[in-house]
A and B are shown apart, each in its own frame.
Chain A
Amino acid sequence: MISILEFQRRSETGPVMEVNDFDMLVGKRMREIVKKYGITYNPEELVVDDETADKVFQAAVEYMSTVGLYNVSTFRQIQFTKEEIEEIARDYRENHRTQVFGTGKEEILIKPRTSQDTWAPIAMVGSTGPIQQDWHIPFTQLLAQEPTNHGLGCSGCGVSVDGIEPKAGTVTELHCALWEQEALLEGLRRAGREGMHLGVLATVFTFGGVAAVMQNGLRNKYNTQLGIHLMAEQKLDYSRLLTAYFCEQNGMQPWTSATAIIGGLTGSPAGTAVGLLGNLIGQLAFGHGNLGSLFTSHLGGNSGTREACWVYSAAGRAVERHIQVPLGGTASANHYYRGTRVCFYQQLASMTALTASGLAYLWSVGATGLETRVCVNAMQGISGMPRDKVNTLLNTILAKVDEVMPEETRTERYRELPEFYDLKTLKPKPEFLATVKQATEDLADMGVPYSSELVID
């Protein structure tokens, strides 16, 4: 493996270029590479075959060894040889990584998984959207009291604390983050699940802020991951290298989360799958983490589409066959349709594609405890399902999304929790409950294998 210090050396000696020129290099090379390896998006086969997965891996090796990474702090490209990239993959493949999070009865073990495994990925759910101070604690409690949830995965960002807004890179960022940690712990306490994994630290992401929250003891090695993820499209900065170094020195797990956007610089779904994998390898290269994670969406923020499912599968299955790092993802959906059938169908589709492509954990399944329960119940039945059956199911669900989307209302803003839940009783509101029930019945009719134990209340 390449040391983090060596990353600094390369950051100081690689070719100097403007960030826009690097971005264009990404776009141009990706087009050529996708063509060279003959990778094509196939909407009929959203969970890809071995041949496609292998091509995506080879293409990502070429991408990483010709485009590499870019340090925005030094305006230099960080270059690698093909052998170095292959060596990183081999090291992960031959020395399987595992990771324990949580403590006591909340301990979870994350280990590599394959697309054929009949055991389901570990499910977690935290908040992804903005959180208001008055419902931060009940929200955490609500998520934690759901038995199918094994960790918070990530924790959404509080909008303000007593009128003070968290401002990036300033004292208020830290002030709000510290309040938030207390709120999270209180939520877990109320649910009787103090030992639970808290996931990636969300509100603070400057290195100084991260270090301060860690020193305070509110976060621990067993319950936290620190973000070292690249800005999409292969970029890093010194803040990320510092955080990676901090993790390594302190025995902490970095949050290794690859991103590539469909229609962005990496272009087509095929380019995006290769870009996603390249981004992941880049982060494993300097972060040396035990886990990886994938995220894609369309330019407008839409996810849970056919293209997104295919991208997840192509990158996920390439990891399954060539890297075998325990891989995470999110059962994502178009959040402008939150609380509608569209959102539930898409969540189910994303979860299905990820589970059937060998992912080991889902760090965000649904956005409320109820959605998590429904999704996790189906996940068990999907695990180990033959590929052709999964593909038929995915096509049925996504055809239904196309059909009902025009009938549903797209909201301009993220709809917040109090619209769906009564925060005093921590129970879903009748309208929300009815939509979840209806969507679940629809999905069962489409062939989603729910077990009889599923209770929607």
Chain B
Amino acid sequence: MNVSDITEAIADLEDERALSLVEEALAAGLDPVDILQNGIVAGLREIGRRFDAEEYYLAELMMGGKLSQECIALVEPHMPAGSGAKSGVVILGAVQGDLHDIGYKLVSTQLKLAGYEVHEIGVNVAPMTFVQKAQELKADIIGLSAFLITTLPLCGEVVNYLRDMGIRDNHRVIIGGAEASHGASESMGCDGYAPNAVQSVILCDRLMGRAATA
């Protein structure tokens, strides 16, 4: 078998086929790093390409994200020590009062594709919940999505908690969404703003001190 079969099965969103191909590849002794990079991640990239070409839509992106996570879970135990180093841990959600989730779901998919461990914590999330989740999951980055005038200020609340709790240096805070901007990020003391999913990866890479992967 060839890892490109895995790519194809993932890109075509064939759940069962993709999972059994990954198992087969592992059983056949193929290099797990090869399976991950040239099979699974390549499949996700193809899904991204189809999304850009409007052959796929948001639901397909989400299905692809879920399927590849299941595939990665199969490969992970076989990875050589140190090779699976993830890019970082990110928690993402829409701040209190905000129900817009389409934007951050796209950010989530791109970040996962770039090797980040992403936890989506939902919409209408209270500032303290972001802080608690960040501590619990040892998040490197807290991603706040704000689409409304009335919800943007809530991003500043998260920063204030981190500062007042003396843990500001433990987590980077980034913002995005229709109402967010570079100016808002600066004035609220956040660590950065990105206008779209691709820029979000570049921003996170920069904050993690890595060369951009996107």
Contact = CB atoms under 8 A, between A and B. Distances in A.
Interface of A: 19-20, 23-24, 26-28, 30-31, 72, 130, 157-159, 165-169, 173, 203, 205-206, 231-232, 261, 263-268, 271, 299, 301, 412-413
A362 B120 CA distance: 37
Contacts of B95: 168
Given A20-B66, A167-B150, A168-B98, A268 B57 contact: yes
A24 B62 contact: yes
Contacts of B120: 20
13 contacts: A27-B59, A27-B62, A28-B63, A130-B149, A130-B179, A165-B153, A166-B149, A173-B97, A173-B150, A271-B57, A299-B106, A301-B178, A413-B181
Interface of B: 54, 57-60, 62-63, 66, 95-99, 101-102, 106, 120, 122-123, 148-154, 178-179, 181, 195
A412 B193 CA distance: 14
Nearest to A31: B59
Contact of A203 (B57, B150, B153): B150
* Chain A facing B: main interface SS: loop
A118 B151 CA distance: 43
Contacts, number: 87
Given A169-B97, A232-B102, A263-B57, 18 more contacts: A19-B122, A20-B62, A23-B59, A23-B62, A27-B59, A28-B63, A31-B59, A158-B149, A167-B153, A167-B154, A168-B95, A168-B151, A261-B58, A261-B102, A265-B59, A267-B58, A412-B195, A413-B181
Contacts of B152: 165
A205 B148 CA distance: 12
Q: Most chain-A CB neighbours within 10 Å: which of B59, B95, B179, B195?
A: B59
Contact of A157 (B57, B149, B154): B149
A268 B95 CA distance: 29
A20 B58 CA distance: 12
A159 B63 contact: no
Given A20-B66, A157-B150, A30 B59 contact: yes
Contact of A27 (B58, B149, B195): B58
A168 B57 CA distance: 31
Nearest to B56: A267
A72 B125 CA distance: 12
Top-5 shortest CB links A-B? A27-B59, A168-B97, A267-B57, A168-B150, A231-B99
Contacts of A130: 149, 179
A31 B63 CA distance: 13
Nearest to B13: A28
B45 to A, nearest CB: 19
B58 A168 contact: no
A232 B195 CA distance: 22
